[in-house]
């Protein structure tokens, strides 16, 4: 079991501003580096985080200045978890079209959810669809490794 002294945490409420959302990743990457995570894991976590925070701000909150996003992150030497909650209406994951379908190959956008699932070890959405929890386990393979 890891003690609190061996865990890096961040819990923050941010406005629906993509530049502020993107700025939160750097401290997490620095913490991962301190815990000796591999560069590939840093890259994958940054990619998943950027996709998820963009989805929350742009699609969930519709860039609304009167809505916020809750961001929670923690990492230690073995496990990382990111939770992002927006104030939007949510979405139904089963209704998100597969961007690999022939008629969607040239459509811009729509690849974020697939990408997140490919690079993280676990991804969970709330029933409402306005909260995502992403987990990365140090040294554990993910779907992107099988591609």
Look up the CATH number of the domain holding residue 88: 3.30.565.10
- Would the pLDDT of 32 be above 90? yes
Host H or E run for residue 32 = helix 25-34
pLDDT at 93: 78
Q: What is the pLDDT of residues 101-131, one digit of tens each?
A: 666 556 656 678 889 999 999 999 999 999 9
Tell me the residue range of the domain where 19 lies.
Answer: 4-146
Q: What is the pLDDT of residues 48-57, one digit of tens each?
A: 999 999 999 9
Q: How confident is the model at residue 135 (pLDDT cuts 50, 70, 90)?
A: very high
Give me the number of domains the chain comprises. Answer: 1
For the entire predicted model, the pTM comes to: 0.90
> Residues 40, 66: contact at Cβ < 8 Å?
no
């Amino acid at each position: 079991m890891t003690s609190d002294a061996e865990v890096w945490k961040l819990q923050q409420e941010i406005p629906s501003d993509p530049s502020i959302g993107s700025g939160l990743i750097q401290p997490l990457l620095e913490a991962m580096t301190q815990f000796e995570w591999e560069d590939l894991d840093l890259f994958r976590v940054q990619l998943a985080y950027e996709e998820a925070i963009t989805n929350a701000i742009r699609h969930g909150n519709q860039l609304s200045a009167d809505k916020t996003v809750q961001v929670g992150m923690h990492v230690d030497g073995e496990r990382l978890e990111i939770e992002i909650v927006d104030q939007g209406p949510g979405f139904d994951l089963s209704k998100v079209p597969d961007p690999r379908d022939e008629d969607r190959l040239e459509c811009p956008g729509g690849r974020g959810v697939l990408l997140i699932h490919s690079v993280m070890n676990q991804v969970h959405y709330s029933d409402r669809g306005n909260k995502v929890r992403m987990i990365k386990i140090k040294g554990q393979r993910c779907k992107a490794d099988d591609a």
